[in-house]
Amino acid sequence: MYSDKVKDHFEHPRNVGEIPDADGVGLVGNQKCGDIMKMYLKIENDVIVDVKFKTYGCGAAIATSSMATEMVKGKTVQEALQITNKAVMEALDGLPPVKVHCSVLAEEAIKAALEDYYKKQGKEPDFKATGCSHCCRKDEA
Amino acid sequence: MYSDKVKDHFEHPRNVGEIPDADGVGLVGNQKCGDIMKMYLKIENDVIVDVKFKTYGCGAAIATSSMATEMVKGKTVQEALQITNKAVMEALDGLPPVKVHCSVLAEEAIKAALEDYYKKQGKEPDFKATGCSHCCRKDEA
Amino acid sequence: MDHFVYADHAATTRIRPEVLEAMMPFLTEHYGNPSSMYEMSDVTEMAILDARRTVAELIGAKPNEIIFTSCGSESDNMALWGILRKKKGHLITTKIEHHAVLHTAEALEKEGYAVTYLDVDKDGLVAPEALEAAIRPDTTLISIMTANNEIGTVEPIRELAAVAKKHKITFHTDAVQAVGHIPIDVNELGVDMLSASGHKFGAPKGIGFLYVRGGVLPLPLIYGGGQERGKRAGTENIAFIVGLAKALELAVAEMEETNRKLTRMRDRLIDGILRDIPYCRLNGSRDKRLPGNVNVSIEFIEGEALLLKLDMAGICASSGSACTTGSLDPSHVLLAIGLTHEVAHGSLRITLGGDNTDEDVDYILEKLPGIVKYLRDMSPVWEDALKNGQAKEYELCTAIK
Amino acid sequence: MDHFVYADHAATTRIRPEVLEAMMPFLTEHYGNPSSMYEMSDVTEMAILDARRTVAELIGAKPNEIIFTSCGSESDNMALWGILRKKKGHLITTKIEHHAVLHTAEALEKEGYAVTYLDVDKDGLVAPEALEAAIRPDTTLISIMTANNEIGTVEPIRELAAVAKKHKITFHTDAVQAVGHIPIDVNELGVDMLSASGHKFGAPKGIGFLYVRGGVLPLPLIYGGGQERGKRAGTENIAFIVGLAKALELAVAEMEETNRKLTRMRDRLIDGILRDIPYCRLNGSRDKRLPGNVNVSIEFIEGEALLLKLDMAGICASSGSACTTGSLDPSHVLLAIGLTHEVAHGSLRITLGGDNTDEDVDYILEKLPGIVKYLRDMSPVWEDALKNGQAKEYELCTAIK
Ligand SMILES: Cc1ncc(COP(=O)(O)O)c(C=O)c1O
Ligand SMILES: Cc1ncc(COP(=O)(O)O)c(C=O)c1O
């Protein structure tokens, strides 16, 4: 059901962990629904120099978190904000339809971490992480 | 579905044919229902000395006709009247439940032929062939 | 027995070796439940996806329009109950449907649904005008079979479905005898739902499918797990699903050639029987006919006895006689085309398949007339007919070897 | 992969070689339609008769009380629709039924039938008193499963059926997880109807049966031909019917020995998991439990990820996590026994079968704690729990190899 890329990122997730002195931390999802992502960003001169994540959730949630961290690393904040769930999915060679929401969660985790970064910097973010309103769904066997 | 005896009597029916100068002829059944038996008896000194039949009908109808002719041959009229459908069935090692009515038809064919014999003799029969009211039925595949 | 001829392919067919081969892995090592998470189940999940795609392509449908079922009867029941329970209304069907439709329609009547049973002509054909005339404002579903299982008549489905479409009524066709036998394209036919059963074309008994056009949403017949996109619950019979797809693939690939051969053999049989056996008629349309179907009524004899004698000669066939229909009456199809009970009892159906040969045809033509003669000679009805001049004594045609 | 352990026998089982062997003739040379007249079909007709007799004997029923179906879901649907459509009324079932019953009950509700869903206790047990209290004057059918497919709880069916009998209400039990696994005698249990599915005990997927006590007369679910004495239409899946009978025969013959072994392995697993993994609980009754069922909730992690990690280690299992239930919510069974969504998401079901070994148990106990630790270390929920003192950091038990 999962692509080889997804499997690889699930099996060997990149950037797992915490950054104790992170410049931005984003927490999205909901344990009741079965998916929580927490993303830690270290930002220097507007560039994301380090990133870590922790995820509670299904295989796709872990893989998209992992891929998302890879994608933001080295990017400027503005570039990182452009990363869409679609881009994450594409980078993973696709997700089963029922797992698309996991990629949305990853996009939101980046946004939420950057929102936190803006706030910590005393800036008003001109975007808003909405978290993820959908829960994990497997429509078809 | 049929016993070996039924198969044998169907494959090699005994006493098929007509007796042109029969002393009693019985015709029972109904083509609409799919079963007709015609039985010819030659009777001398109250003993059935010859018997023939013609049957239009299923395998069980032909086999029971054949068996019934075998059973009446050599019997007295009174003995022949005692032959029940059960006896015919037993002689054939049984019939499928849905074919039981064929044995009833055979019993009735004997009765009808004897009724005809009585009438030809100017005697009032103290029994009556009812023909067969059931049609061929196969309840279960 | 000097020869064995299986000539009852409309009843069921043998599983083709290629089909069995395709199924075997799923009866042995690949046993994972397709709904499970682990990789072992990817194989079975993919196998079903592939089979669905194959079947869809072969009938011009989309994969998600195919619902696998356990048989043709289930497909028919699902179509009728599924649409009518969803949108209560009037059903139009015909008098010559298979019992899977007919008895379902009767059950629906008992539940309070109105049903119209269309008449057919002497060939078994349904007239589009008759269909149109039967439509009521509350008509919700029309169900007319593609090809009749007894007399082989192929209905004008495209014209009938067009009538339904004009009135925006869902159109279902029981194509159990047609799929794998004659070209079927759901879009060309214009049907909304179509039933098929694997064992009629070289797949095993116990697998079928229902095509349901996107947007047509029957209620399930079997509720439960999310299999078949929630339309049909039950852990999937993967092996048979794979087998059905394989069998259909083979049947469609070989259809043109097979049908050329079947048509030739069928016509030889029909002509030979009508030539060699007096007091005998062909049932069903001569030209709008399934390639492998022969159905004749042979007067003055009864069908079951005929089948048994044929069986003893190594020939497997079937009949619409009451003794074989499971009811008091002979085939409702034969009665619907105007046969009397008497004539219907003497019916014989021979259905050829791709594995039959010209020798089989010769053999049937060699054996049948003698058997008929034998049974007639034993029949009091024949005796009567001879006596009252209804029939004439005949010699067996010298053409018979 | 150093080891492969299939431990999802409640999902499905592999066809046993003896079963496949028994089926093979009916997938090859014996293909005659059992309804046909010729001798070739006697073999298939007899095979079904034999299978019916075997199955009946093994559950204490009479042959004509067995109706073969295409799966457990069909059996359940037939029982519920068949009784309720016949005699409209109120249905009592439970909150922990399989979807084949639950979704059918919901569909019945949409058709206007009243349904009561009984609560269960924390072990998943239904109380006979609760059943009795739910009975209404118009209650027509009670349907309570024999054993739960997720948590393995075995219900007090004899007591529950006695309540039904006292009130003269038809009692159906979904015994899909019980037949072939624990002793089943329909008379001892006192049930009127019982559903089973072959693929849960070594027969193929796509065959099941419904036991219907003589005199109890549900309407058919699938109308059509006269197969199964008119109770279930469709050309019979002879091969699978034969396979089901063979599989049940083997399962019953070996049951005592197998269950001794399964119970021992199961208990070893439960004890080992509870010992080696903190923040973990057993779901379902400890003693009224299927011999092969282990179901635990492991906090702070999510079930699908756990299954994938186990799969990578060569272990096939299942979970009641929302990600695997096909709905927004985790398993309705886990919620019904009082688990929160959070805890239910972290559930793991391991179901052992006769082919599992002690080495398999060792292997699971070796791999599982490390995988759980790994996922917890990656889980922000675990991080939180540690920070707010809800949980304590732990070392893996040294007992683990
Ligand atoms: C308790 C229970 N009932 C019904 C079913 C449905 O069986 P099947 O998948 O054969 O339809 C299952 C298994 O899936 C089950 O565990
Ligand atoms: C026209 C038609 N419809 C439906 C069926 C039922 O198919 P099945 O036996 O697979 O249920 C058959 C064959 O028996 C058939 O010929």
For residue D68, which phi and psi values (nearest 5 degrees)?
-75, 140
* pLDDT, tens only, D355-376: 999 999 999 999 999 999 999 9
> Are the CB atoms for C199 and C177 separated by under 8 Å?
no
Structure tokens at C279: 């007091």
Closest chain C CA to residue A138: C226
ipTM: 0.94
Instruction: Give SS3 for C118.
Output: strand
Q: Which atom of ligand 2 is nearest to the CA of C149?
A: 16
Q: What pLDDT is recorded for position A126?
A: 86
Catalytic-role residue among C71, C280, C316, C323: C323
* pLDDT, tens only, A52-71: 999 999 999 999 999 999 99
Q: What pLDDT is recorded for position D321?
A: 84
> Which residue in D289, D276, D281, D305 sits closest to D352, CA to CA?
D289
- How many angstroms is it from C11 CA to the middle of ligand 2? 8
> Are the CB atoms for C283 and C331 separated by under 8 Å?
no
Binding-site residues, ligand 2, Cβ < 6 A: C 71-73, 76, 98, 100, 145, 149, 174, 176-177, 197, 199, 208; D 224, 234-235
Q: Tell me the pLDDT of chain A averaged across its residues.
A: 90
Q: What pLDDT is recorded for position A132?
A: 56
What are the structural domains, with CATH classification, of chain C?
Answer: 5-11+255-400 (3.90.1150.10), 17-251 (3.40.640.10)
Closest chain C CA to residue A137: C226
Cα–Cα distance measured from residue C132 to residue B97, given in angstroms and rounded to the nearest whole number: 45
Comparing C20 with A102, which gets the higher pLDDT? C20
C246-264 burial string, b = 16+ CB within 10 Å, else e?
bbbbbbbeebeebbebbee
Q: Which residues of C touch A141 (CB under 8 A)?
A: 34-35, 45, 225-227, 236
Instruction: Give SS3 for D77.
Output: helix
CB contact under 8 A, D304 and C37: yes
* pLDDT, tens only, C310-327: 999 999 999 988 777 666
Cα–Cα distance measured from residue C210 to residue C302, given in angstroms and rounded to the nearest whole number: 37
DSSP codes joined into one string, D17-48 = HHHHHHHHHHHTT----TTSSSTHHHHHHHHH
**Chain D contacts in chain A segment 48-107 (CB below 8 A):** 54-59, 61-62
Counting residues of chain C whose pLDDT is more than 70, the rounded percentage is 98
Closest partner residue to B137 (CB to CB) among C308, C328, C382 is: C328
Cα–Cα distance measured from residue D81 to residue D88, given in angstroms and rounded to the nearest whole number: 10
Q: Which atom of ligand 1 is nearest to the CA of D100?
A: 4
- How many angstroms is it from D297 CA to the middle of ligand 1? 22
* pLDDT, tens only, B18-37: 999 999 999 999 888 889 99
CA distance D363 to chain A (A): 20
- Bridge partners (DSSP) of residue C298 are C280
- Bridge partners (DSSP) of residue D244 are none
* Helix D72-86 with D99-110: angle, nearest 10 deg: 30
Q: Which residues of D touch A54 (CB under 8 A)?
A: 378-380, 383
Q: What pLDDT is recorded for position A131?
A: 65
> Are the CB atoms for C371 and C306 separated by under 8 Å?
yes
> In this predicted structure, which of A88-92, B112-116, D34-38 has the lowest mean pLDDT?
D34-38
Cα–Cα distance measured from residue D118 to residue D386, given in angstroms and rounded to the nearest whole number: 38
Q: What pLDDT is recorded for position D325?
A: 66
DSSP codes joined into one string, chain A = ---HHHHHHHHS-SSBS--TT-SEEEEEEETTTTEEEEEEEEEETTEEEEEEEEEES-HHHHHHHHHHHHHHTT-BHHHHHT--HHHHHHHTT---GGGHHHHHHHHHHHHHHHHHHHHHTTPPPSS------PPP-----
Comparing B135 with C263, which gets the higher pLDDT? C263
CB contact under 8 A, D379 and A61: no
* pLDDT, tens only, C268-304: 999 999 999 999 999 999 999 999 999 999 999 999 9
Q: Which atom of ligand 1 is nearest to the CA of C235?
A: 9
Q: What pLDDT is recorded for position B33?
A: 82
CB contact under 8 A, A54 and D379: yes
> Are the CB atoms for C95 and C134 separated by under 8 Å?
no
Q: What pLDDT is recorded for position D186?
A: 98
Please report which confidence band the pLDDT of residue D73 belongs to, taking 50, 70 and 90 as the band edges.
Answer: very high
Q: What pLDDT is recorded for position A129?
A: 79
Tell me, letter by letter, the H, E, C secondary structure of D127-180: CHHHHHHHCCCCEEEEECCCECCCCCEECCHHHHHHHHHHCCCEEEEECCCCCC
- Based on the residue annotation, tell me whether C323 is a catalytic residue of this protein: yes
* pLDDT, tens only, D191-242: 999 999 999 999 999 999 999 999 999 999 999 999 999 999 999 999 999 9
Counting residues of chain D whose pLDDT is more than 90, the rounded percentage is 94
Cα–Cα distance measured from residue D237 to residue D242, given in angstroms and rounded to the nearest whole number: 9
Q: Is residue B127 within 8 angstroms of chain C, CB to CB?
A: no
Q: What pLDDT is recorded for position B30?
A: 86
Please report which confidence band the pLDDT of residue B137 belongs to, taking 50, 70 and 90 as the band edges.
Answer: very low
CB contact under 8 A, C378 and B58: no
> Are the CB atoms for A81 and A111 separated by under 8 Å?
yes
> What is chain D's percent helix, strand, coil content, to nearest 5?
45, 15, 40
Cα–Cα distance measured from residue D5 to residue D313, given in angstroms and rounded to the nearest whole number: 9
What is the phi-psi region of residue C389: left when phi exceeds 0, alpha when psi lies from -120 to 50, beta otherwise? left
CB contact under 8 A, B141 and D225: yes
Closest partner residue to D222 (CB to CB) among C14, C20, C74 is: C74
Closest chain B CA to residue C347: B34
CB contact under 8 A, A59 and D304: yes
The full length of chain D comes to 401
Q: Is residue C281 within 8 angstroms of chain D, CB to CB?
A: no
CA distance C131 to chain D (A): 23
Q: Which residues of A touch D305 (CB under 8 A)?
A: 10, 57-59, 61-62
> Residue ranges of the domains in chain A?
4-120
Please report which confidence band the pLDDT of residue B136 belongs to, taking 50, 70 and 90 as the band edges.
Answer: very low
* pLDDT, tens only, D292-342: 999 999 999 999 999 999 999 999 999 988 777 666 789 999 999 999 999
Cα–Cα distance measured from residue D126 to residue D171, given in angstroms and rounded to the nearest whole number: 14
CA distance A54 to chain D (A): 5
> Are the CB atoms for B40 and B46 separated by under 8 Å?
no
Cα–Cα distance measured from residue A74 to residue D71, given in angstroms and rounded to the nearest whole number: 55
Q: What pLDDT is recorded for position D203?
A: 98
What residues contact B94, with CB distance under 8 A and at least 6 apart? Answer: B3
Binding-site residues, ligand 1, Cβ < 6 A: C 234-235; D 71-73, 76, 98, 100, 145, 149, 174, 176-177, 197, 199, 208
* pLDDT, tens only, B38-72: 999 999 999 999 999 999 999 999 999 999 999 99
pLDDT of C1 above 90: no
Q: Which residues of B touch C326 (CB under 8 A)?
A: 137-141
Please report which confidence band the pLDDT of residue B135 belongs to, taking 50, 70 and 90 as the band edges.
Answer: very low
Cα–Cα distance measured from residue C394 to residue D5, given in angstroms and rounded to the nearest whole number: 75
CA torsion sign, C173 to C179 to C182 to C185? positive
DSSP codes joined into one string, A23-49 = SEEEEEEETTTTEEEEEEEEEETTEEE
Instruction: Give SS3 for C343.
Output: helix
- Mean predicted confidence (pLDDT) in C133-151: 98
Cα–Cα distance measured from residue D336 to residue D333, given in angstroms and rounded to the nearest whole number: 5
Structure tokens at C332: 């409702």
Tell me, letter by letter, the H, E, C secondary structure of D219-281: CCCCCCCCCHHHCCCCCCCHHHHHHHHHHHHHHHHHHHHHHHHHHHHHHHHHHHHHHHCCCEE
Q: What pLDDT is recorded for position D326?
A: 64
For residue B42, which phi and psi values (nearest 5 degrees)?
-110, 120
Cα–Cα distance measured from residue D115 to residue D39, given in angstroms and rounded to the nearest whole number: 49
The full length of chain B comes to 141
pLDDT of A138 above 50: no
What is the phi-psi region of residue D326: left when phi exceeds 0, alpha when psi lies from -120 to 50, beta otherwise? left
Do chains A and B have 3 or more beta-carbon pairs under 8 angstroms? no
Counting residues of chain D whose pLDDT is more than 70, the rounded percentage is 98
- Bridge partners (DSSP) of residue C253 are none
Closest partner residue to B1 (CB to CB) among D45, D229, D236 is: D45
CATH, range A4-120 = 3.90.1010.10
Q: Tell me the pLDDT of chain D averaged across its residues.
A: 96
- Bridge partners (DSSP) of residue A44 are A47
CA distance D30 to chain B (A): 16
Q: What pLDDT is recorded for position C72?
A: 98
Please report which confidence band the pLDDT of residue A128 belongs to, taking 50, 70 and 90 as the band edges.
Answer: confident
Closest chain A CA to residue C40: A1
Pairing of strands C315-316, C5-6: parallel
- Mean predicted confidence (pLDDT) in C228-233: 96
> Which residue in D322, D330, D333 sits closest to D120, CA to CA?
D333
Q: How many C-beta atoms lie closer than 10 Å to residue D224's C-beta?
A: 24
* pLDDT, tens only, D89-142: 999 999 999 999 999 999 999 999 999 999 999 999 999 999 999 999 999 999
**Chain D contacts in chain A segment 12-51 (CB below 8 A):** 13, 16, 18, 27, 31-38
Calculate the dihedral angle through the C-alpha atoms of D175, D176, D177, D178, rounding to the nearest 10 degrees. 40
* pLDDT, tens only, C82-119: 999 999 999 999 999 999 999 999 999 999 999 999 99
CB contact under 8 A, D70 and C206: yes
* Pocket probe mutation, ligand 2, options C197, C205, C237, C332, max atoms within 8 Å of Cβ: C197
